[in-house]
Amino acid sequence: MRTIRLLLLTLLILAIPAASFAQFGVAITIAPPALPIYAQPMAPADGYLWTPGYWAYGDEGYFWVPGTWVMAPEVGFLWTPGYWGWGGNAFAWNEGYWGTNVGFYGGVNYGFGYGGIGYQGGYWNNGGFYYNRSVNNVNVTNVHNVYNKTVINNTAFNHVSYNGGNGGINARPTAAEETAAHERHTPATAAQTEHQQAAGKNHALLASVNHGRPAIAATAKPGEFSGKGVVAARQAGAPYKAAASKATESKTATHSNENKAAENRAATTRSNENKAAENKAAATRSNENKAAENKAAATRSNENKAAENKAAATRSNENKAAENKAAATRSNENKAAENKAATTRSNENKAAENKAATTRSNENKAAENKAAATRSNENKAAENKAAATRSNENKAAENKAAKPKETRPPSESKPTTAHAQPAARQQTSPRAEAAPRAQPASHPTTTARAQPASHPAVNEAPKAEERPRK
């Protein structure tokens, strides 16, 4: 039985064109149940991104993998959910992945920002993730990077969980989603893988048990299937239809195996030929669309960057202006204080210097005045002494000249030649010349003062015989 199932699985995989899906994990002919209706638990902290729940397939059929909040493997990465797609003969699961852009996920409306195309739940900006509160349950007390933008979902296939086939979503990748599919991808993180494995081991999460309404529809963190972070489904997305038993499924596969093998080989050949031509044309259109989209995206990005740079430059200039103004104010205050202190010191130094200079000048002047007074007094004393001496001499001469002459009897006068010679002694007249220094005009008859020489002639007449000694 197991061999037949593996053979059927192999044939179904071969029958699906390789270009139709990103990855193949399981291929079956039974469509997955509708997506259950549930509320999103609150984000545990800033930086967690939402990954929606989905139906996985195991040995006992479909089981629900609860939606949960996880940390992105890199800043700037967004999650592209996996999806079930019909390949013409079976359903195949396309694995989700992390990348800088959200790619194609079958047009499935997983909710909470994943409305079937792209992601409207948030975006990265400068290393931080900004949450759209209209589709995310975040605590604004702990998470500050939030905004609010209304999201309109396509409700035509509101709870359908697969693309293509009977009752599936009829959606094709856009040019942007094709571009995202060829960018660098990172597979599910270890926490996501462990989360799925834990769900596969939980019997209550089997669709055959919960009938499309799991008791654990979402969790706050990966692998935490109990506690206050667990949210149960409010209702199933659609009435549950029990799948055929495994025995019936195996029997049907056995009867149709031989015919389908031949048909599938022929269909694969035709499909591959047709797809080659379609892929070539699609690649051409995709490249043209990508070029236009990249150009438009580059223009928008440049405009956004220009606006951000302008705003940042404005803020920077305002901050610098404020800082420069504050620095200039402090500098002026410091300079004013320094100048005031310097002026004070300068005035004090000048006052001290002027006082010292004044003291020295006064001392020098006092000394000079004292010396000048001493010299003046000495000169005056000498002049006065000399003047007194000359005055005394002049007075003595004047007194001597003014002394009355002695009268002698006429009989004593003997006019002899010896009596007249004493006149030669009038050589004293030079002494009388000194008199003009005292009274130059008051003694016109100075020479008459020599007349007393006649007295010796009277007194010394008896000695006339001695005169021949000359």
The CA distances from residue 258 to 8, 253, 270, in Å, are: 10, 9, 19
Instruction: Read off the pLDDT band of 403 (50, 70, 90).
Output: low
Handedness of CA 65, 67, 69, 70 (dihedral sign): positive
Task: Supply the pLDDT for residue 307.
Answer: 73
Task: Supply the pLDDT for residue 187.
Answer: 96
The predicted model scores a pTM of 0.51
Classify 456 as helix, strand or coil: helix
Handedness of CA 48, 49, 54, 60 (dihedral sign): negative
Indicate if the pLDDT at residue 29 is higher than 70. yes
Task: Supply the pLDDT for residue 251.
Answer: 40
Structure tokens at 441: 């005009």
Indicate if the pLDDT at residue 26 is higher than 70. no
Task: Supply the pLDDT for residue 225.
Answer: 96
Give the residue extent of every domain in the chain: 2-243
Mean pLDDT of 251-280: 51
The rounded percent of the chain whose pLDDT value lies above 90 is 42
Indicate if the pLDDT at residue 44 is higher than 90. yes
Q: How far apart are CA 404 and CA 409, in angstroms?
A: 16
Least confident of 6-15, 283-292, 352-361: 6-15
Handedness of CA 300, 301, 306, 309 (dihedral sign): positive
Q: Is 202 within 8 Å of 225 (Cβ atoms)?
A: yes
Task: Supply the pLDDT for residue 445.
Answer: 42
Instruction: Read off the pLDDT band of 204 (50, 70, 90).
Output: very high
Indicate if the pLDDT at residue 171 is higher than 70. yes
Indicate if the pLDDT at residue 125 is higher than 80. yes
Going by C-beta distance under 8 Å and a sequence separation of 6 or more, which residues neighbour residue 133? Answer: 140, 146, 147, 148
End-to-end CA distance of the chain: 200
Classify 421 as helix, strand or coil: helix
Structure tokens at 55: 């139906």
- Identity of residue 40: Q
Task: Supply the pLDDT for residue 287.
Answer: 66
Going by C-beta distance under 8 Å and a sequence separation of 6 or more, which residues neighbour residue 64? Answer: 36, 53, 54, 55, 56, 199, 205, 207, 210, 214, 216, 217
- Identity of residue 437: R
Mean pLDDT of 394-400: 82
Q: DSSP state, 37?
A: B
Mean pLDDT of 283-289: 65
Task: Supply the pLDDT for residue 338.
Answer: 82
Q: Is 221 within 8 Å of 229 (Cβ atoms)?
A: yes
Task: Supply the pLDDT for residue 335.
Answer: 83
The CA distances from residue 392 to 237, 430, 448, in Å, are: 160, 18, 22
pLDDT tens, 305-337? 777 778 777 787 787 877 888 777 787 888 888
Structure tokens at 146: 């939030």
Q: Which residues of 407-432 are buried (b: 16+ CB within 10 A; e: fewer)?
A: eeeeeeeeeeebbeebeeeeeeeeeb
Classify 147 as helix, strand or coil: strand
Instruction: Read off the pLDDT band of 86 (50, 70, 90).
Output: very high
Mean pLDDT of 33-56: 96
Q: Is 412 within 8 Å of 454 (Cβ atoms)?
A: no
Task: Supply the pLDDT for residue 158.
Answer: 81
Instruction: Read off the pLDDT band of 154 (50, 70, 90).
Output: low
Going by C-beta distance under 8 Å and a sequence separation of 6 or more, which residues neighbour residue 354? Answer: none
Q: How far apart are CA 54 and CA 105, in angstroms?
A: 12
Q: Smallest Cα–Cα separation from 122: which of 141, 135, 110?
A: 135
Mean pLDDT of 99-120: 95
pLDDT tens, 348-383? 888 888 888 788 878 888 888 888 878 878 888 888
Least confident of 5-19, 46-60, 149-163, 170-184: 5-19
Q: What is the mean pLDDT of the chain?
A: 76
Which comes out higher in pLDDT, residue 50 or 8?
50
